Amino acid sequence: MPPHPLDRLIFHITDIENLPDILDAGGLHSDFVMSMRNPMVIGHNHIKQRRLTQIRIPTCGNRFVGEFVPFYFCARSPMLYTVNLGNTGRTPGCQKTIVHLVSRVRDVIALGTSWAVSDGNAGAFHTTFDSTMHAVDNLDWKAIEATYWTECIHQKQAELLVADFFPWTCFHEVGCYDAEAEVAVKALLANQNHRPKVSVKKAWYY
């Protein structure tokens, strides 16, 4: 039996270099807020701009996608693959310093803020959005959980989008590429009141 929609895991990828600012802020801000700062960007800038200025979410007051904090429903995402290849301008092999921040759908709902589910890449113009648990259940979970996703790349990139801000306290796990990254993350969290489990998750990487 598949997990209840509320128990589904959600994943946000970021560079370890960004963790100090995330911790100082108490969580993740939307790309709209971050665009006014200078974070280590790991995605395609032109797609981020599309999300900030062109694609809207009808179920959330017609706000732009870029006003939301994005999560995937899987680790080892196609975005991580393309970033690691160097296709976004970063050095090939850069996944070693990228971590997966893990939470659950139920933590999003508990916030009481606006949220939406995309049926695929939220940076694509043909993507549709919904804001119901039914939409989570109706995602293409076979594609999302696929190891080989060339034929279903759009569906695998389904997203959960959380308006404006997502608190650090809602993360329960941080997945790392190797022991070196694990040590670095644990050092950054040493003085934090909220310290999610940090461990090496080699299967989450390419």
Query: Would you tell me how many other CB atoms lie within 10 Å of the CB of residue 194?
Result: 13
Q: Which member of 90, 104, 159, 182 is catalytic?
A: 159
Q: What one-letter code names the amino acid at 137?
A: D
E strand map for the chain: 9-15, 27-29, 56-57, 63-64, 68-72, 98-104, 115-118, 129-130, 159-163, 165-167, 173-176, 197-200
Q: What does the block give as tokens for 102? A: 């893990």
Tokens 């759009």 sit at which residue? Answer: 154
Look up 159 and say whether it is catalytic. yes
Look up 51 and say whether it is catalytic. yes
Query: Would you tell me how many other CB atoms lie within 10 Å of the CB of residue 15?
Result: 17
Q: Which member of 8, 50, 51, 90 is catalytic?
A: 51
3-state secondary structure of 172: coil
> Measured between alpha carbons, how far is 205 from 100 in angstroms, rounded to an integer?
10
Question: With 0-12 CB in 10 A as exposed, 13-18 as middle and 19+ as buried, what is 7?
Answer: exposed
Active site residues: 51, 159
